[in-house]
């Protein structure tokens, strides 16, 4: 099916389709010193009243759970977000030590449109730029899809964002494909509620503080059991420990990992972890 014919089918189905789903390949560097980026497929669901952005791994796991009537869970390094259509206010979902939290952010974007255009997969694109999250961004959007939306928190252009890249190429989104679903896709069991565990709503400041608390004591529950004497030994990753001091290398390993992988999409929110 050629691109123009597919686009006509898409437009004709706008009235009837309830979820317009767009897939993006995300190339990113969680560690800014990486020579090769990591890759993920991310999903943008545009529903009649809201927009949802999340990892495609969620969809894959949801499909398996429905097939086998199971409740297996997973998580992602990329923060999922939801928002009402046309709104700058996003609900963010983050996990710390197996507990999920949600917090609100207001993310107004000031776009500068240019006259520069190009073609991509048969779509007519126009260039726009913005500063957001401590990075300079270039977006290529199309009016061929009549949505003022895009991946993550990027929205507000007169069309759908197809390509998006920051100046240093630490984060790079590329549109892959789209599908139309006749019914609004229910994400409540893997996004808004994590397989029966509802996220705890907090402020962004509290969420950041909890991340710092985790950094300072990443295996608190296990260590405290040994320190208090409530147990004589604990098993962790297949190894048995009998003294809290034996956990020191594990704690340092986790802290080193967090220090290294501290290049979030919003660079100005990179955590200031204590130095060694």
What residues form DSSP beta bridges with 99? 96
0.95 exceeded by the pTM?
A: no
- What lies within 8 Å, CB to CB, of 150 at 6+ separation is 44, 139, 141, 157, 160, 161, 164, 173
Q: Mean pLDDT check: name the lowest of 69-83, 92-106, 193-207, 248-262.
A: 69-83
pLDDT of the residue at 224: 83
Q: Mean pLDDT check: name the lowest of 1-5, 49-53, 149-153, 250-254.
A: 1-5
- Span 119-138, average pLDDT: 98
Mean pLDDT of the chain: 90
Q: Which residue has the higher pLDDT, 165 or 14?
A: 165
pLDDT > 90 in the chain, percent: 69
List, for residues 146-189, the tens digit of each pLDDT value: 999 999 999 999 999 999 999 999 999 999 999 999 999 999 88
**Rounded distance between C-alpha atoms, residue 181 and residue 78, angstroms:** 24
Q: Which residue has the higher pLDDT, 240 or 82?
A: 82
pLDDT of the residue at 15: 47
Structure tokens at 218: 């990443």
- Span 120-129, average pLDDT: 97
List, for residues 179-229, the tens digit of each pLDDT value: 999 999 999 888 888 767 899 999 999 999 999 999 999 988 888 878 777
Q: What is the largest CA-CA distance in the chain?
A: 69
- Span 249-264, average pLDDT: 95
**Rounded distance between C-alpha atoms, residue 51 and residue 65, angstroms:** 23
For residue 265, pLDDT beyond 70:
yes
For residue 117, pLDDT beyond 50:
yes
| List of domains in the chain | 3-192 (2.50.20), 203-269 (no CATH)
Residue bearing tokens 């779509």: 123
**Rounded distance between C-alpha atoms, residue 253 and residue 258, angstroms:** 9
Nearest CA to 227 out of 251, 211, 204 is that of 251
Structure tokens at 63: 């499909």
């Amino acid at each position: 099916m050629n691109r123009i014919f597919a686009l006509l089918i898409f437009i004709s189905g706008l009235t009837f389709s309830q979820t317009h789903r767009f897939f993006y390949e995300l190339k990113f560097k969680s560690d800014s010193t990486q020579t090769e980026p990591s890759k993920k497929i991310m999903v943008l669901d545009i529903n009649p009243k809201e927009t949802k952005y999340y990892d495609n791994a969620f969809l894959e796991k949801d499909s398996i759970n429905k097939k086998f009537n199971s409740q297996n869970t997973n998580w992602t390094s990329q923060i999922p977000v939801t928002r009402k259509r046309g709104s700058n206010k996003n609900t963010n979902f983050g996990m710390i030590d197996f507990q999920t939290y949600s917090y609100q952010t207001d993310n107004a974007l000031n776009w500068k449109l240019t006259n520069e255009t190009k073609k991509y997969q048969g779509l007519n694109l126009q260039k726009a730029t913005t500063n957001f999250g401590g990075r300079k961004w270039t977006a290529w959007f199309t009016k061929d899809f009549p949505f003022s939306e895009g991946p993550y928190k990027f929205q507000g252009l007169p069309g759908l964002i197809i390509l998006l890249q920051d100046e240093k190429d630490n984060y790079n989104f590329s549109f892959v494909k789209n599908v139309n679903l006749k019914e609004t896709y229910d994400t409540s069991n893997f996004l808004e509620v994590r397989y029966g565990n509802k996220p705890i709503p907090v402020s962004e400041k509290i969420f950041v503080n909890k991340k710092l608390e985790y950094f300072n004591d990443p295996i608190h529950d296990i260590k405290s059991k040994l320190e208090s004497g409530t147990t004589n030994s604990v098993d962790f990753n297949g190894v048995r420990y009998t003294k809290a001091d034996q956990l020191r290398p594990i704690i340092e390993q986790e802290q080193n990992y967090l220090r290294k992988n501290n290049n979030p999409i919003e660079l100005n929110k990179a955590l200031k972890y204590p130095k060694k």
